[in-house]
Amino acid sequence: MPSKITERGTDPAFTSHDAGFTWIAHPDEDMQRASHAVVGENGGVWVVDPVDAEGLDELLAEYGEVAGVVVLLNRHKRDAAAIARRHDVSVHVPDFMDAVAQDLDAPVERVYTDLGESGFGVHELIDNAFWKEAIIYGEHDDTLVVPEALGTAEYFLVGEERVGVHPALRLKPPKRLRRFDPERVLVGHGAGIHEDASEAIQTALSGARRRTPRLYAKAARSMIFG
């Protein structure tokens, strides 16, 4: 399977859940890039780190009017600008992601602590020269969205993990994730976790360093044997 497909998704996998819906535009790609539409506390649909796909606009309309598009990782500009222009809304970018805001061909709104009137709080997770990541958490639906530090795609996981820490962060997983106790977690690569999400996250964080050699060995075997 290809690692990443650049064309618009023609056969996306949509999954509805209590917070809105998730889609994987290219189910056959190794990266399993996931995007999300979450419904705000007072209505309005927020589109998070989107990869464009056929049927997306029609499904969004079933959940309500699009309030905005959100980019939570400096590498996840994806199709945010195109979708924002199509729905005549702004792309909302965390305030510490200057380069992302400059690269988007769409109206941009800087986000500090709250995602508009959505009820989702925006929290800085990682901020360095190479990796800038924010997460959002909504108390109204107990949903945490983590775009990259956690994932459920195969290359994130080892052993019995349901969600795993990104391979590049395993030796020093972000401690700020421990403060959240969500019912569900939506990730940028792979399917979301909708049951016992808090327990799955704590398991991932507490064992990340210990399980790192097993994950790296798994990755090496995959490269050698396919």
Cα within 13 Å of Cα(11), Cβ side: 3
Considering its fold, how many domains does the chain have in total?
1
In a domain, 5, yes or no: no
First to last CA, the chain: 10
Instruction: Indicate the pTM of the whole model.
Output: 0.94
In-domain check, residue 4: no
160: domain CATH number is 3.60.15.10
The residues pairing with 138 across neighbouring beta strands, listed in sequence order, are: 120, 143
201 inside domain: yes
180 domain-assigned: yes
Residue 219 has a pLDDT of 78
Predicted pLDDT at 218: 83
What percent of the chain stands above pLDDT 90?
A: 85
Spans of the chain below 70 pLDDT: 1-6, 222-226
pLDDT digits 0-9 by tens, 53-79: 999 999 999 999 999 999 999 999 999
Asked whether residue 62 is domain-assigned, the answer is yes
Q: Which helix (H) or strand (E) holds 14?
A: strand 13-17
- Name the residue range of residue 41's domain: 13-225
Sorted by sequence, the CB contacts under 8 Å of residue 16 that are 6+ apart come out as none
